[in-house]
């Protein structure tokens, strides 16, 4: 799972870190002053490092809770995100993290209590019911057996009923959630792309069937679940029948059938989709990292600092996809991620 564990001196003797380290007695344990001595240094190659990523246990300083990017979430209320972890155990080729960091190591910030205090401060500053997103710089559930993220943060939000926590994930690590009593202000949002996209770009990600099964179990247990059909990538050669958007729609039709066969749409919290998009700087970094990747060799355009794939009749295709989706859900459950 990890090639080594780096441990900041400041957190080395904390209970949380000790319990994590005890799980991996055979791994090299390397002390450091600050995680930045290892993470994101110059002369690191994300692509090579992804072959043997290490875990870095650290303390997060500075702003622990940040405003969510415009168009990220499902609610018009104040939206924030927090990252107890940097980087993801999966290796999705379309993911912006590859362009954001030079390092593929995982940084786990273990001062959860400080995150709790920062969430409190954000709630105090917000009018209405703020939403907190976890899973922006990582997949919060994927490392849950190690991080115990859910065991800490779900009870935190049960004490803050005025706020909502969205855990965005592609993981099937739901054991800790199933051991808990569901709370009404926590949403587990599972991301899906069609089977062909998964096979082509989502390396190390649990299969669609397993993800649907996990989400179904959560729904049955009483958790609020949500569906994130992102990123939508029209007209890729990976959709076997051809390269036009019609084939993408056919792939999505199949995906929707599979998902809604097991997931009851009537109690789904929300459903979203969003086109592939990425900040220009990250995109440039990724192109350098994967010059041989067909996805990044396609024609692109830049809008408001975001790179998008150039798609013929983009709005029309997106609307067709939404129409398809509305055959399964109530449009009021839906939002388009910008």
Residue ranges binding other proteins (CB under 8 A):
3-4, 6, 28, 30-33, 37-38, 41-45, 47-49, 51-52, 54, 235-237, 243-244, 287, 290-294, 296-299, 310
Contact 148, 185 (CB under 8 A): no
| In the complex, least distance from residue 2 CB atom to other proteins, rounded to whole angstroms | 9
In terms of CB distance, is 54 or 142 closer to other proteins?
A: 54
Determine the longest span between alpha carbons in the chain, in angstroms. 57
H, E, C per residue of 58-120: ECCCCCCEEECCCCCCCCCCCEEEECCEECCCCEECCCCHHHHCCCCCEEEECCHHHHHHHHH
Strands 202-203 and 91-92: antiparallel
In terms of CB distance, is 38 or 107 closer to other proteins?
A: 38
| In the complex, least distance from residue 198 CB atom to other proteins, rounded to whole angstroms | 20
In terms of CB distance, is 159 or 288 closer to other proteins?
A: 288
| In the complex, least distance from residue 313 CB atom to other proteins, rounded to whole angstroms | 13
| In the complex, least distance from residue 166 CB atom to other proteins, rounded to whole angstroms | 34
Q: b/e map of 149-166 (b: 16 or more CB within 10 Å)?
A: bbebbbebbbebeebbbb
What are the φ and ψ backbone dihedral angles of 327, each rounded to 5 degrees? -75, -10
In terms of CB distance, is 139 or 247 closer to other proteins?
A: 247
The length of the chain is 338
CA 60 – CA 40 distance, rounded (Å): 15
In terms of CB distance, is 86 or 118 closer to other proteins?
A: 86
In terms of CB distance, is 299 or 332 closer to other proteins?
A: 299
In terms of CB distance, is 6 or 133 closer to other proteins?
A: 6
| In the complex, least distance from residue 55 CB atom to other proteins, rounded to whole angstroms | 11
Contact 188, 153 (CB under 8 A): no
Dihedral of the alpha carbons of 293, 315, 135, 287, in degrees to the nearest 10? 20
In terms of CB distance, is 158 or 300 closer to other proteins?
A: 300
| In the complex, least distance from residue 330 CB atom to other proteins, rounded to whole angstroms | 33
CA 120 – CA 114 distance, rounded (Å): 10
Beta-bridge mates of residue 144: none
Is 160 in a helix, a strand, or coil?
coil
DSSP-assigned states of every residue in 174-223: -HHHHHSPP-TTEEEEEE---HHHHHHHEETPPPHHHHHHHHHHHHHHT-
């Amino acid at each position: 799972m990890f090639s080594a564990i780096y441990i900041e001196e400041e957190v080395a003797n904390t209970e949380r870190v000790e319990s994590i380290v005890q799980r991996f007695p055979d791994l090299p344990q390397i002390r450091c002053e600050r995680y930045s001595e290892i993470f994101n240094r110059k002369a690191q190659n994300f692509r090579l490092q992804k072959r043997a990523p290490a875990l870095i246990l650290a303390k997060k300083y500075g702003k622990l809770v940040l405003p969510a990017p415009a168009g990220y979430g499902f609610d018009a209320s104040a939206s924030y995100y927090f990252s107890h972890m940097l980087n993801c155990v999966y290796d999705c080729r379309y993911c912006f993290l590859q362009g954001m960091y030079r390092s593929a190591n995982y940084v786990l910030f273990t001062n959860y209590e400080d995150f709790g205090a920062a969430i409190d401060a954000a709630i105090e500053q917000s009018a209405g019911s703020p939403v907190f997103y976890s899973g922006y710089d990582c997949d919060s559930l994927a490392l849950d057996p190690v991080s115990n993220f859910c065991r800490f943060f779900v009870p935190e939000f049960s004490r803050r009923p005025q706020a909502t926590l969205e855990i965005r994930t592609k993981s099937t690590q739901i054991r800790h959630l199933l051991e808990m009593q569901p709370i009404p202000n926590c949403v587990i949002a599972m991301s899906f792309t069609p089977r062909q996209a998964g096979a082509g770009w989502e390396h190390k990600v649990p299969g669609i069937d397993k993800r649907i099964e996990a989400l179904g179990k959560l729904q049955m247990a009483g958790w609020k679940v949500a569906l994130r059909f992102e990123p939508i990538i029209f007209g890729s050669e990976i959709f076997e029948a051809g390269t036009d958007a019609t084939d993408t729609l056919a792939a999505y039709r199949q995906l929707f059938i599979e998902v809604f066969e097991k997931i009851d749409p009537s109690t789904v919290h929300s459903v979203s989709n969003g086109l592939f998009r990425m900040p220009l700087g990250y995109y440039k970094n990724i192109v350098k990292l994967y010059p041989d990747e067909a996805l990044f060799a396609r024609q692109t355009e830049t809008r408001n600092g975001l790179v998008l794939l150039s798609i013929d009749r983009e709005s029309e295709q997106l609307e067709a996809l939404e129409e398809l989706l509305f055959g399964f859900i109530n449009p009021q459950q839906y939002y388009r991620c910008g």
